[in-house]
Amino acid sequence: MGSNGKVPVWLDCDPGHDDAFAILLAAYHPSMELLGISTVHGNASLANTTWNTSSILTAIGKPDIPVYSGAAKGLIRPAVHADAIHGESGLDGTRLLPTPLTPFKTEPCIPAIAAALFKTPPVTAWVVATGALTNIALLFQAHPELASHIKGLSIMGGALGSSFTTAPMGIVNDTSRIGNYTPYAEFNILVDPEAASFLLSHPILSLKTTLIPLDVTHLVLATKDVQEMLHYGKTNLNSEETGSGKGSGKRKCSVLRTMLLELLLFIAKTYAEVFGITAGPPLHDPLAVAALLDSIPGFNPLFQDYLQPGHRERYAVKVITEGTHAEALAGEAQTGRTVATLLDEGEDGIRIPRGLDVRRFWDMIEDCLVRADEVNAKK
């Protein structure tokens, strides 16, 4: 914990519909202090992910959180974007995104992240990465001493398969798959597998890393009931009030909630069409933010990092870097695949949860939405 009793957090992201919820959670959870956000190539171009981040911060009433623009492509590979899922802008599906009130910082990204983290007490801060891992690899390559200074690294990325969880992994062309962007690879790892390999094999970082793969995120689907709860809020779910009074038969909701619902509906459509997941879209990225809460002393764990209670699991993770993006898309290479090996019980390694309390997670998101609505209402 930091000196203020909160966990210092740096978020690296590529908004991205689910990134919007990751930003909301990091900005408003009462146990977190969001130090800043860096943007990276991924779901959309760097220019778009940077604008999207600043817009989301304005939408949730946190425009003063600093935003730094990072890497526009991988360490050694060209950029790849997820237009089929997130649209060209990265946040297609709504016209309610506001113009950012605060421009992003023009200072170089990596020194800014390092400076913010080194200002925190030793072994208190978390780095959360929910996009391509280029920025974070560059950060620890430029500042190797930072690996010992931080408390942990939480990554949304990877896909294991082999029934690691009971989550639906998606079907493309009538064929079940492990990955999302390719048959074997999850998008964040695929777009810069060299960066992922560096981080997940790092002798210090790998002992303090939590990896949240598709196997976990696909357990958390934004079903119609969840969509309705997030749109109207728990307190208004059964209300017949409007924003201007009673009697119209409509329930009231904020502009922020409507915007987030529209984003969910857009990605629900693309997930149904592309992956055959029709119950609702998985909400990947905020899970990587939520995962750090389990490190807080006295916090009732949200995630289960075991198959059998009392038998904690840790893993070594290898990233396949051979092959090109084109070969991986064609099924000719397994580029970006994450291969996890269970370590002997008691040995330290990468934490990969087997499951989580899904209801508690959605309650966290709703609580943060309530706080954001309260801040916006005071404007």
Residues acting as catalytic residues: 284
Tokens of 199: 């981080």
Strand pairing partners for 245? 242
Q: Counting Cβ atoms within 10 Å, is residue 335 exposed (0-12), middle (13-18) or buried (19+)? A: buried
Q: Counting Cβ atoms within 10 Å, is residue 207 exposed (0-12), middle (13-18) or buried (19+)? A: middle
Listed as own residue / partner, the contacts of 300-307 with beta carbons closer than 8 Å and 24 or more positions apart are 302/356, 302/357, 302/360, 302/361, 303/216, 303/353, 303/355, 303/356, 304/353, 304/354, 304/355, 304/356, 305/351, 305/352, 305/353, 305/354, 306/354, 307/354
Tokens of 205: 């970082």
Measured CA to CA, the distance from residue 207 to residue 378 in angstroms comes to 43
Contact residues for 55 (Cβ-Cβ < 8 A; gap 6+):
91, 97, 98, 99, 100
What is the DSSP secondary structure assignment for residue 95, as one 8-state letter? S
What's the Cα-to-Cα distance from 79 to each of 41, 167, 358, rounded to whole Å? 7, 29, 33
